[in-house]
Amino acid sequence: MRVFVDTEFTDFIECDLVSIGLVADDGSEFYGERSDYDRASCNEFVRAAVLSQLGQYPGRMFTREALRIALVAWLDQFADEPERVLCFDYFGDWELLCDLVDGPPAGWQAHHVGQLLDPGRQEAYCREHHGRHHALVDARAKRHAMIDSAPAPDSRK
């Protein structure tokens, strides 16, 4: 089972998680926003491109600890899968996920998929779904853009 990961964060220097999105091969999704990050630590880009997109998913706002618990529980649903791979295209996404769950998730492999994503398909998905720099939309776009897989259906339908 592959799960595609994307995060949004405050800044490249003082990096703190703002939101996280995960989308599995089977269409299962997880999304969470932090309620307790320091807005003052956000750089201008994050203020302009990311923060305005938050709040689209009612009930998905968590404290850091509540987000950790919810994400670990969501990942645990795949415990019986023979192979579990967390796919990311930016190493910072992996680092933020590991920081959130207190280390690499047990039983999961990390795989950098940057070279395996079709940038045209990824861009087309973002244009079609009017999104970019939203963790869940970007995770969906990564899943859609995998070169070695068929186009993934939009799980919101």
For the cut 90, the answer to whether the pLDDT of residue 10 exceeds it is: yes
Give the model confidence (pLDDT) of 46-92 as tens digits: 999 999 999 999 899 999 999 999 999 999 999 999 999 999 999 99
Give the model confidence (pLDDT) of 83-122 as tens digits: 999 999 999 999 999 999 999 999 999 999 877 777 778 7
DSSP 34-52: ESSS-GGG--HHHHHHTGG
The CATH code for residues 2-145 is 3.30.420.10
| DSSP class of 77 | T
Identify the three-state secondary structure at position 59. coil
Rounded mean pLDDT of the chain? 89
Q: Which residues contact 117 (CB under 8 A, 6 or more apart)?
A: 89, 142, 145, 146, 147
